[in-house]
Amino acid sequence: AHAVLGKHDNVVRYYSAWAEDDHMLIQNEFCDGGSLHARIQEHCLGESELKILLMHVIEGLRYIHSNDLVHMDIKPENIFYTMNPTAHKNGCSALEQQQGNKDDDGMDSVYEELRSSENLVTYKIGDLGHVTSVNEPHVEEGDCRYLPKEILQEDYSNLFKADIFSLGITLFEVAGGGPLPKNGPEWHKLRSGEVPPIPTLSKDFNELIA
């Protein structure tokens, strides 16, 4: 999967792999910010940060899915980020060009707000160990806290949606909705659309997560 996915700004880049001392070593792109999981140990993400995270991970998933592949293990531990303001600003310009005269979808104001920040980041999807083809799926279940119940029931009829579900519940967690349950009534509620609103988020963004 590493080699097939090639190069995308929102997927951790693969360089090479080799065997050494009975171990397989994989050389990937270095993300100087670390993991999203480590970041949220310090503080939850605000709505502006969440919108950037959402956009970047969606772009990474769009690329993965365009190759008829699914990630199957989206979670904070597998999302990394780089502190790269220049690349991020270039991305803003590209987005503006694509939008042309379209109405503001809410992201323009977010980018405008963050342009002057020294903490601009680029989020990247990493850990491709669970990636599988949608045409001939060989599913190795990821973390049950982030998976829809259909996957755990071995229903693989819509694997693309499984990745989107995992992203949604990741957003819920990093916004302050964690820690996530591994089972029990609360686990089932989250999969039945009973997602408690995060007080610090707008009504629209809470509805987006739910």
Which residues participate in catalysis according to the annotation?
73
Around 163, how many Cα atoms within 13 Å sit in the side-chain half-sphere? 27
* Residue 146 · residue 74 · CB < 8 Å: yes
> What pairing do the DSSP bridges indicate for beta strands 121-125 and 79-83?
antiparallel
CA triple 52-108-96, angle to 5 deg: 105
- With vertex at residue 20, the alpha carbon angle to CA 17 and CA 22, rounded to the nearest 5 degrees, is 115
Per-residue buried b or exposed e for 1-33, using 16+ beta carbons within 10 Å of the residue's own CB: ebeebeebbbbbbbeeeeeeeeeeeeebeebeb
Phi-psi region of 39 (alpha: psi -120 to 50; beta: other; left: phi over 0): alpha
Signed CA dihedral, 132, 137, 141, 144: sign only: positive
Cβ 138 vs Cβ 91: under 8 Å: no
